[in-house]
Amino acid sequence: MISKPLGSSAGALGAAVVCLSILFGMLVGHAWPLWFGRTILLPAAAASSRGSMHGDYVNVTTPAMTLVVRADGTGGSATSAAVRPVGPWWNDPSLPPVQKTGRMRGTLLYVQLEPSDGGDYRPVTVSRQPVPGAVNLRGVIRRTPQPDTLSVEYGLDAFYMKQGKPEAVAAAFRAKRRVQLEVAVASSGRARIRSLLIDGVPVSK
Amino acid sequence: MITAGDPPVRIRKSRLDWLDAQSRGWHQAGIIDESTRERILSGYAAESAERRAMAVLVLIAILLGSVGLLLLIGYNWDAIPRGAKLALLMGSVAAAFTASAVAYGKGREAAGETLAFAGTLLFGLSIFLVAQVLHIQGRDPDAFLWWGIGVFACAALVRSRAIAVEASLIFLLWVFVEGTFAEHTAFTFVLLWPLALLVGYRLESPWTVGVAAFAAGLAAFFNGIALSHSSLFLGTVALTGCAVYAAGRLHRDGTMMRLAWETSGLAILLIVSIPLMITQVHQELSAYTAGAAGIVVAVVAGGVALAGGSWRSRSATDQVVLAAAAAVCVWIALTAPGFVPAGSASARAATVLFSVLTLAIGVGLIRTALTSDRPTDLAYGVLFALVFLIVRWVSVLANLLWSGLILVAAAGGLLLIARLWRGRATAGVAGRVS
């Protein structure tokens, strides 16, 4: 057949235990924020309909995914958030910008969120360690499009829905309706999307 | 091989007809007598056409049924509740391995291994779909990492070489995806690589070892670029290729494990030789310098490989690979700290150096192939020579005269190699007959 087999029943059952343990561990790891996390709302900065082999989904971005890091906390826009760095990690003068870009890719960081007047949460500061007492959102730097700008991934950019439904969310966003992400944030900073809201109403999947 | 008393070996009818015709010719030429011919032929029997047709039909039916089932599940996937989806995913993995265990228990080892193989594929599918069920994009490198770890464990537990090869391919994929995602694979790679090799050796699977060895070159590429954009980056990849090739020397000559290491080392060297023969790449690299620690580690590692290999080197290939390791060490030591001023002259000199090295490796391999009757070396030798020709040809593509001359020279070279190989084979046959 494929190769000369040497296995046994016990080996196959052992393999099943290993695979199911990994799957179960991943399941718990992914679902943990949904079970025990604090629920917050994040504004959507963009929403588009996508399809992949996994299924159709809404690709959502929030201003926290593009951070403009400045000591005075200025420079944000509708699609990016201005944050202040916490700690000395950001202003390391020994690294030139290009080297800094290469070294920071893949780096873990925590974004501290505070509620805005509209009820949703906005990034205010960014740090390499969680800040006690704050709502910390754990992310990984994907790239640095500008020397003071970080593109950060939180695992919040896909919301899977039935075929054709994601387009309705994208259309609502294009029609300037208020789209928000209902997100569960665990104490570790890991976050998962609970649902999407259009004008404050959860969309059906 | 046939043994007296064993039932006849089933082979295709066309192959049996060929053996019948050949043995008749041997009999007529006086090489064998009629009774020997009959004894040889009695060891083989033609496969039953009905049996083969039935096996093909059953295989097609299983394939169509599996695809159809997956499509039906896919069609209803959105309508299935989250808990049921998760149960379906985990249940399918459990079912595949349970069926595998039952098959092993009944002594049907091929079926057991096939079902376990299917279980590892379902396991990978489940990892990706768990993310979908929970509305997360997921971090693809982590998915490949856990899939690879699980499949390596399965290979070791089920003792399947096929699953081990699958695991090493997933491991290679992980190095690539992680490298493009974050570039920081070093720590996890250092932990997992020995385990991958261990499984490969335990199962005596040269393919598993070969793919894992090649992954070292890919890891060197991604970690090198994260470490420095200087010559240390591509130099580390080239030194890794030399080291992987040298690791083959720890095995007895002619073994598959040795071939696996040597082939992977040569594959790494072949790929990295392409950018190293391009002047613009050297101009880019010369704009950067590397830290002293990285340079010292690379040069010392290259020096150790050089010293260790040179004592026992025998073939022309060994000599040129060691020469390449020495040249790369010198090149890194001179360019990475910035001792050689950046400019077109130094970039051109490096281009010439690596072009000569690539051609020398090609010639060394072809020479070894001709003297030691090694087709793999011949294939790699021709590949190195072709890569050299193509890269150099591209640099003079606009010049029709040079393009024409290079292609005519290449054609002549290939015909000469073919003639030498044929001559070597004829001499070998004559030598064996006499």
Residue A6 pLDDT: 56
Residue B287 pLDDT: 72
Distances (CA, A) of B151 to A194, B86, B129, B175, B199: 32, 20, 17, 15, 11
Q: What is the mean pLDDT of the segment spanning A117-133?
A: 89
Residue B157 pLDDT: 93
Q: Is the Cβ pair A19, B130 closer than 8 Å?
A: no
**pLDDT beyond 50 at A171:** yes
**pLDDT beyond 80 at A202:** yes
Residue B184 pLDDT: 59
Residue B433 pLDDT: 42
Burial class (CB in 10 A: 0-12, 13-18, 19+), A131: middle
Residue A92 pLDDT: 67
**pLDDT beyond 50 at A99:** no
Q: Which of A2, A24, A30, A95 to mutate to test the interface with B (most CBs of B within 10 A)?
A: A2
* Same domain (yes/no): B350, B216: yes
**A20, two tokens:** 């199911």
pLDDT in tens, B83-117: 888 888 889 899 999 999 998 888 878 888 888 99
Q: Is residue B421, in this structure, part of any structural domain at all?
A: no
Size of interface A-B (CB pairs under 8 A): 170
* Same domain (yes/no): B280, B178: yes
* Same domain (yes/no): B171, B130: yes
Domain that holds residue B70: 52-79
**B208, two tokens:** 């598993």
Select the more confidently predicted residue: A103 or A77. Answer: A77
Domain boundary among B310, B341, B364: B364
The torsion of the CA quartet B373, B374, B380, B384, rounded to 10 degrees, works out to -30
Domain boundary among B329, B364, B399: B364
Which residue of chain B has the CA closest to A14? B157
Of A142-151, A187-196, B37-46, B337-346, which range is least confident?
Answer: B337-346
- In DSSP terms, B160 is beta-bridged to none
**pLDDT beyond 90 at A143:** no
* Same domain (yes/no): B155, B20: no
The domain tally of chain B equals: 3
Burial class (CB in 10 A: 0-12, 13-18, 19+), B375: exposed
Per-residue pLDDT of chain B (434 residues; tens, 9 = 90+): 555 566 777 777 788 888 999 999 999 888 899 899 988 888 888 877 666 677 677 767 777 877 777 777 766 766 778 788 888 888 989 999 999 999 888 887 888 888 899 899 989 888 888 777 766 656 678 888 999 999 999 999 999 999 999 999 999 999 888 887 765 566 788 889 999 999 999 999 999 999 999 999 998 888 777 667 777 788 888 988 988 988 888 888 888 999 999 999 999 999 999 998 888 888 887 777 666 666 776 777 777 666 665 556 567 888 888 888 888 888 888 887 777 776 777 888 888 899 999 999 999 888 888 888 788 888 999 999 989 888 888 777 677 787 788 888 888 888 888 888 887 755 554 444 44
Q: Is residue B433, in this structure, part of any structural domain at all?
A: no
Greatest mean pLDDT range, A128-142, A143-157, A167-181: A128-142
* Same domain (yes/no): B33, B134: no
Dist. CA A142–CA A69, nearest whole Å: 15
Short-list A205, A182, A172, A201, CA closest to A62: A182
CB nearest to A163's CB, from B78, B114, B225: B78
Cβ-based neighbours of B408, under 8 Å, separated by 6 or more: none
Domain boundary among B303, B330, B364: B364
* Same domain (yes/no): B68, B167: no
pLDDT in tens, A30-77: 888 888 889 999 988 877 777 665 567 888 888 999 999 888 877 778
In chain A, what percentage of residues exceed pLDDT 70? 87
What string of DSSP letters covers B109-134? HHHHHHHHHHHHHHHHHHHHHHHHHT
pLDDT in tens, B313-341: 567 888 888 888 888 888 888 887 777 77
On chain B, the residues whose CB falls within 8 A of the CB of A166 are: none
Q: Is residue B411, in this structure, part of any structural domain at all?
A: no
State the DSSP H helix or E strand holding residue A69, giving kind and residue range, or none if neither. strand A66-69
* Same domain (yes/no): B100, B240: yes
Q: Is residue B376, in this structure, part of any structural domain at all?
A: no
* Same domain (yes/no): B15, B134: no
Q: Is residue B196, in this structure, part of any structural domain at all?
A: yes
Q: Are strands A201-202 and A191-198 parallel, antiparallel or unpaired?
A: antiparallel
What single-letter DSSP state applies at residue B404? Answer: H
Q: Is the Cβ pair A5, B102 closer than 8 Å?
A: no
Token look-up 């959102």 returns: A137
Q: Is residue B397, in this structure, part of any structural domain at all?
A: no
* Same domain (yes/no): B119, B73: no
Q: Where are the beta strands (DSSP E) in B16-158?
A: 44-46
How far does CA A43 lie from the centroid of its chain?
13
Residue B4 pLDDT: 59
Q: Is residue B392, in this structure, part of any structural domain at all?
A: no
pLDDT-derived band at A93 (thresholds 50, 70, 90) equals: low
* Same domain (yes/no): B161, B26: no
* H helix and E strand count, chain B: 17, 2
Do the Cβ atoms of A78 and A61 come closer than 8 Å? no
On chain B, the residues whose CB falls within 8 A of the CB of A156 are: 136-137
Q: Is residue B219, in this structure, part of any structural domain at all?
A: yes
Select the more confidently predicted residue: B303 or A150. Answer: A150
In chain A, what percentage of residues exceed pLDDT 90? 23
On chain B, the residues whose CB falls within 8 A of the CB of A26 are: 127, 130, 146
A residues 31-90 near B, CB within 8 Å?
31, 34, 54-55, 57
Dist. CA B161–CA B199, nearest whole Å: 9
Dist. CA B362–CA B386, nearest whole Å: 9
Dist. CA A166–CA A51, nearest whole Å: 9
pLDDT-derived band at A2 (thresholds 50, 70, 90) equals: very low
How large is the ipTM?
Answer: 0.70
* Same domain (yes/no): B73, B152: no
Q: Is the Cβ pair A5, B160 closer than 8 Å?
A: yes
Distance of residue A103 Cα from the nearest chain B Cα, in angstroms: 7
Distance of residue A62 Cα from the nearest chain B Cα, in angstroms: 15
The torsion of the CA quartet B358, B359, B361, B363, rounded to 10 degrees, works out to 170
Residue B189 pLDDT: 85
Q: Is the Cβ pair A12, B160 closer than 8 Å?
A: no
Q: Is the Cβ pair B113, A31 closer than 8 Å?
A: no
CB nearest to B137's CB, from A16, A23, A155: A155
Write b or e for each residue in A155-166: b if 16 or more Cβ atoms lie within 10 A of its Cβ, otherwise e: bbbbbbbeeebb
What string of DSSP letters covers B210-255? HHHHHHHHHHHHHHHHHH-SSHHHHHHHHHHHHHHHHHGGGS-TT-
* Same domain (yes/no): B70, B162: no
**B318, two tokens:** 């060994």
Distance of residue B270 Cα from the nearest chain A Cα, in angstroms: 27
Dist. CA A150–CA A148, nearest whole Å: 7
